[in-house]
Chains A and B, each alone.
Chain A
Amino acid sequence: MAGKVQTYAFINAKLRARISNLLPEDFYRSLGKAHSFIEAMNLFHDTPYAELEAVYSRTGDLKMCELALFKREVEIFLEVENYVTGGPLGFVKALTTRYETEALKNVLRLWFERSQRGRNIESKVGYLFREQIHFQIPYDELLNARDMGELAEILGKTPYADLIREHQAEVEERRTLFPLEIAIDRYFYRQLLSAATKLERQDEEIARRLVGVQVDLENVNWVVRFKVYYELTADQAASYLLPRGRVLDPAAVRNAYTAEDPAGSLAQILSTHYGGASISPETTGGQTARLDLIEGLLQEILAHEVHRILGSYPFSIGIILAYFLLKQQELHRIVTLLNASYYGLSTERMEHFI
């Protein structure tokens, strides 16, 4: 017990203070109601995200604001690494790998656009995140690579090289980066869950629980894409799914995938596990809309888990995970609402994101 207090006391106090500074719900409603994008950006003036407004004032560029947000998010989470040691440090590093994988996927997409599809990427290169998180990733070399073999060679000192080699043939055959992106996501969750096994038993349980719900979210997110956009078979879809979801294991998702009503099938599984959480079979809008609802439901479940952790024993890995998730959610909402405002979505449609 004394060990846990020693490990988590400082980080717990620090992160709880930061959690209390998260933007209130009122702010998102105001953001959704802003009459123009310029007025929406101005709302950040007296918030902890005043820097966003400053970047926008200087550049007039929403993408620069998103880059600033991403950099800020990375800085915040790298700072958390300074406050923990041992097993928790390993887990936090595994968590922050998320940003490295996102940055890597972005540069790979640009490379693919340029080298495989022959498109001009100059309007997007300036928005790449280029700073080192854990591994040194030479972004410029990657952008200039001639083929995937060279990509793997450039990333030789990182775990991503093997992923590229493993999926090179499939990417080239299907002419889509999708298999590689999924593989990178799977790598992230694999190393995260591996880091969780090095935590103490209680912390490991908490970590598995929360990561499990996140995995479910990702899988639900992918199900509709597999079926609608990529037209994969059930076996193919199942092979791509992330393992160790809390509720939705690959077998359950495979069954749902082949069902006539995948959304209804998934909803049934969720409501069985989370008694009371259900989606009416009469919900209209087609599979995509209903899967959106399931995604929303999982987000609520995740939020519920986070708040449960915040209300329980404070000296555990839960506080770090809760902070990560809440902060990610906040940043995701900000980016979504800003983009919605920028592209002129109606207030009614923005309600969905609020």
Chain B
Amino acid sequence: MMFPATMKHLAAVVLEKDADAVADVLLSLGVLHFVDLKSFATEEEGRIEPVHVESRQSRLNETRRRIEALLQLGGYSTDQAPAPDTRRLSSEDIEQIDKQLDRLSAGLQAIRNQQKELQSEILRLQDIERHLSAYGELSSGIQTSSRHTFLQLRTGSLPLQRVEGLSQALDSLPSVMVPAGESEDRRRVILLTLRRNADEVEQMLSRFDWQDSSSPQYPEDLDVKALADVQGRLRHLQNEQEGKNRELKAAVGAKKATLLQQWQAVRLGELFLRVQSNFAHTSRTVLFTGWVPSSRSRETEREIKRVTDGVCYLEWRKAKDATESAVKPVKIPVELKNPRFLKPFEMLVTNFSIPEYGTIDPTPLVAVAYLVMFGLMFADVGHGAVLVLLGLFGTISYRNRGNLFQLSNLVIWCGATSIVSGALFGSYFGMQWLPPLWFNYHGIVSGHPEAGVISSIYDILTLTIYIGITVIAVGMLLNWVNLIGARKWFRLIFDRAGIIGSFLYFSGVWTATYYVQHDYRSLPSAGYLFWLLGVPSLLFLVKAPLEEFLSHRWSGEPGPHPGGARLSPGKVFSYVMDWMLELLEIYTGYLANTLSFMRVAGLGIAHVTLLIAFFQIARMAGGGGYNVISIVILVLGNLLVIALEGLSAGIQSLRLNYYEFFSKYFAGSGIRYNPVSLQSRS
């Protein structure tokens, strides 16, 4: 947990004929983080050719995206894909899949085209519906002389057997036919069309033996009937359109199982090619190299030997040996091994950077520091419970969405911490339902402190400073551990968070404590100050010249001043300036870092103060008591505090971790361990 997994470097040579089998086994194992062979290539480099898979990869990639798009049309995701089948796809298989996708696509497009036809009819009906709604009452006919009249109204009759034909012909125009009775073999019809189509309508009517009524009479509810007719037809068409959409989804659904299987097979093919893209080959062999966690090295060796019948060459090296022998700089990948419940905090760490190989994984410490700070800033049982509920909702909604899922888990943790700290400080939605288990935060902020270790705002501020000192101290310790592990002795001594720097810091803490405890009137004696602060400060003066001297000695280069001259005035001046700047940065930096933790108190006080304010507003609204309006104010106020303060506390905790904590030790230039496996994203 505290240290990433140990890595071993593997360089392998297998026969060309075994390349596919080896690629298969590497994919199944999913443990090899490939490295470019050129980083370790020697004089053999000229005879090694990379394996070219780009065009095949591109083809598979395109096919996979098509399958995903078609599944999405049906509302399906690839999460439901079956377990991968080890059979690899041939070119013919892929061509077959592409043809099947083309056929499915064509079928779906035909459905969409049918929707389009319906849409054309819908638009015509919507046009006349708009005019009908705007015109209003029609029983007195339509005023044709006005420019604002867009409708044309006619009454007439036509033979019964021609009614259907006319109705179909009028479908191409915005129109309404309202039956108005029958006589003998003719049907009377009231016809509503648009004025702009007058000529076309006239032509149509003449084809269907239309006769205009000599004395047209319109029922009083003609507009209602006409509108109802149009709206009915519109609803029918829109339902039909929606039905087509469902038909499309059903068409995809019918192919879902096949599509998911094809998707999995294509994805497997892509991953297989991705493994092969890291191979290089000579005339008869295939070479590859990469990193494997030490715990999986035996298994990896066993499997490769199994599929090659032992005809292979595998060279294992320790991480340090491998990087030292590399031709180009090589980074060792980092596999963070944290339990699932710490994954949200691992996300916070990796969002900043990946720790360098061989250094501490600060995830567990970040978890503690983050939650302690959050709890102090956002201490309320009720608010914490709300956060827990929100987090739970988030974990359900974002079950398969990596970072959002982890963020929801983080919210749950923060909520739980707030519940604990709320109980410690006796805050339940801003009220004191139960006595505090530690100290009364609300009481202190509102000016009603109770006796105890923490009984004033000053005490709260002091508490946060002590937390800050602890966090910084832990950071320094981690820095020492990292530097000892890396055998960087010079830095261990002279780093700002090294031995001398840490000694200086704690001397400063002790001095400040002394000053405070003596009522801000006296400092420790000069002797103490000299040894505690002066000597370490002076020691930094030798840092730069010593570093330069040692680096020249280790590199075998001539000393800094060949030819006899020891130190030029310019050099001395630059050493002194470097020293002064370094001291300035150390003193101001550590002071600022420590005082920065007071924001924890500040936000905690703000949290309480806001709640107090809302309670006062609520009492004022209730005329000294509480009524419905007061309750509304309290509910909204609590929600606002949860939103604002929750966000602030989360961000500030993160900031304190990233800046005040990480800056002491975190060497975040690592690369994530990323083996090609069946779980890899394509």
Contact = CB atoms under 8 A, between A and B. Distances in A.
Interface string B103-136: 0011011011111101110111011000100000
Interface string B180-202: 00000000000000111101100
Contacts of A69: none
Interface stretch (B69-77, B339-347, B557-565, B627-635): B69-77
B62 A60 contact: no
B148 interface: yes
B200 to A, nearest CB: 7
Contacts of B200: 120
A307 interface: no
B336 to A, nearest CB: 29
A222 interface: no
Contacts of B109: 36-38
A56 interface: yes
A113 B26 CA distance: 68
A154 interface: yes
Interface stretch (A39-47, A90-98, A298-306, A321-329): A39-47
B interface majority secondary structure: helix
Contact of A59 (B108, B115, B124, B131): B115
Given A42-B72, A43-B69, A154 B245 contact: no
Nearest to A30: B65
B69 A39 contact: yes
Nearest to B65: A30
B115 A144 contact: no
Contact of A122 (B111, B112, B173, B195): B173
Contact of A126 (B124, B173, B194, B196): B124
Interface in A9-66: 30, 33, 35-39, 42-43, 45, 56-62, 64
B244 interface: yes
B391 interface: no
B125 to A, nearest CB: 10
Nearest to B63: A35
A312 interface: no
- For chain B, the bracket of interface size reads 35 or more
A198 B261 CA distance: 64
A51 to B, nearest CB: 16
A60 B102 CA distance: 18
B124 A38 contact: no
B174 interface: yes
A334 interface: no
A39 B197 contact: no
Contact of A60 (B101, B114, B150, B172): B114
Contact of A38 (B112, B120, B194, B196): B112
B593 interface: no
B194 to A, nearest CB: 8
B105 A60 contact: no
A276 B244 CA distance: 55
A202 B362 CA distance: 53
A60 B123 contact: no
B147 interface: yes
B195 A123 contact: no
Contacts of A56: 112
Interface string A56-89: 1111111010000000000000000000000000
Contact of A144 (B150, B173, B245): B150
A37 B102 CA distance: 11
B154 interface: no
B241 interface: yes
B168 to A, nearest CB: 15
Contacts of B62: 33
Nearest to B70: A39
A56 B412 CA distance: 40
B245 A58 contact: yes
Interface in B37-76: 62, 65-66, 69-70, 72-73
Contact of B197 (A35, A58, A122): A122
A246 to B, nearest CB: 42
Nearest to A146: B147
B148 A141 contact: yes
Contacts of B72: 42, 45
A216 to B, nearest CB: 38
A127 B116 CA distance: 13
Contacts of B126: 126
Given A122-B173, A144-B150, A59 B101 contact: no
- Pick from A58, A60, A154 the residue with the most CB of B within 10 Å: A60
Contacts of B113: 60
Nearest to A46: B72
Contacts of A350: none
Nearest to B116: A60
A150 B119 contact: no
A113 B105 CA distance: 36
Given A42-B73, A122-B172, A125-B127, A35 B114 contact: no
Interface in A141-158: 141, 143-145, 150, 154
A57 B69 CA distance: 13
Interface in A130-184: 140-141, 143-145, 150, 154
Nearest to A45: B72
B127 A58 contact: no
A186 interface: no
A35 B102 contact: yes
A227 interface: no
A341 to B, nearest CB: 11
B127 A35 contact: no
A144 to B, nearest CB: 5
B147 A144 contact: yes
A101 B175 CA distance: 30
Nearest to A60: B115
A179 to B, nearest CB: 24
A168 B440 CA distance: 85
A61 B119 contact: yes
Contacts of B245: 57-58
A120 B201 CA distance: 11
Nearest to B105: A36
Interface in B227-261: 241-242, 244-245
A109 interface: no
A61 B123 CA distance: 11
A64 B122 CA distance: 12
Given A35-B102, A36-B106, A143-B196, A60 B112 contact: yes
Contacts of B101: 35
Contacts of A120: 172-173, 200
Most B-side CB within 10 Å, residue of A33, A122, A123, A143: A122
A96 B106 CA distance: 40
B84 to A, nearest CB: 25
A244 interface: no
A114 interface: yes
A143 B73 CA distance: 38
A38 B115 CA distance: 13
A322 B232 CA distance: 47
Given A144-B147, A144-B196, A39 B66 contact: yes
A125 B128 CA distance: 11
B66 A35 contact: yes
Q: Which 9 A-B pairs have the closest CB atoms?
A: A126-B123, A60-B115, A60-B112, A60-B116, A36-B105, A59-B119, A61-B119, A42-B69, A61-B116
23 contacts: A35-B102, A35-B105, A36-B105, A37-B109, A38-B109, A39-B105, A42-B69, A42-B72, A57-B245, A59-B116, A59-B241, A60-B111, A60-B113, A60-B114, A60-B115, A61-B116, A122-B124, A122-B127, A122-B173, A122-B174, A125-B123, A143-B196, A144-B196
Given A61-B115, A141-B147, A144-B195, 11 more contacts: A35-B66, A35-B105, A36-B106, A39-B66, A43-B69, A45-B72, A58-B242, A60-B116, A60-B118, A141-B150, A144-B196
Interface of A: 30, 33, 35-39, 42-43, 45, 56-62, 64, 114, 118, 120, 122-123, 125-127, 140-141, 143-145, 150, 154
